[in-house]
């Protein structure tokens, strides 16, 4: 359906179910993409626009030249937004951001301690 491996598709379905995202609640439309890619991009509607009716969240995705892949990435991004909204600091995205912040602080501390 999305042009990805079955494993990735089932993982997306599981994640959508976990955050309460139902296909019936999504308004999906396709727009022309623009940007790099030449004439092909200007003629085909590969950019995906998703709107989640219950929350009002919107996602516009043009990561790839394939409409199917953009549909996959848009749904994945919508899941991340809903998780961030409902879980706050405990969402996977927030936890990853905090982990990176700590890593950078640790590296910065080590760099300051090393004599040049």
Q: Does the residue 48 lie in any domain?
A: yes
**63 near 69, Cβ under 8 Å?**
yes
What average pLDDT does the structure give for the chain? 88
pLDDT grade for 116, boundaries at 50, 70 and 90: low
Instruction: Residue 21: give the domain boundaries.
Output: 6-88
Q: Does the residue 110 lie in any domain?
A: no
Q: Does the residue 81 lie in any domain?
A: yes
The model's pTM is 0.78
Question: What CATH number does the domain containing 40 carry?
Answer: 3.30.160.20
What pLDDT is recorded for position 33? 75
Q: Does the residue 64 lie in any domain?
A: yes
What is the rounded average pLDDT of the residues 15-41? 85
The helix/strand count (H/E) of the chain reads as: 4, 3
Identify the CA nearest to 100 among candidates 108, 86, 85, 84. Answer: 108
Separation between Cα atoms, residue 41 and residue 33, nearest integer Å: 6
What pLDDT is recorded for position 100? 96
Residue given tokens 């899941």 in the structure block: 79
Q: Does the residue 108 lie in any domain?
A: no
Specify the number of domains making up the chain.
1
Note the pLDDT tens digit of each residue in 41-97. 778 888 999 999 999 999 999 888 888 999 999 999 999 999 888 888 888 888 999
């Amino acid at each position: 359906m999305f042009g990805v491996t079955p494993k990735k598709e089932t993982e997306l379905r599981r994640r959508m179910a976990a955050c309460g995202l139902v296909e019936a609640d999504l308004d999906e439309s396709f727009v022309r993409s623009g940007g790099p890619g030449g004439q092909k991009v200007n003629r085909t509607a590969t950019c995906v626009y998703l709107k989640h009716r219950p929350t009002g969240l919107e996602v516009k995705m043009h990561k790839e030249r394939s409409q199917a892949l953009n549909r996959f990435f848009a749904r994945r991004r919508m899941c991340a937004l809903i998780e961030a909204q409902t879980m706050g600091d405990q969402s996977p995205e927030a936890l990853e951001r905090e982990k990176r912040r700590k890593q950078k602080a640790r590296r910065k501390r080590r760099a300051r301690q090393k004599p040049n």
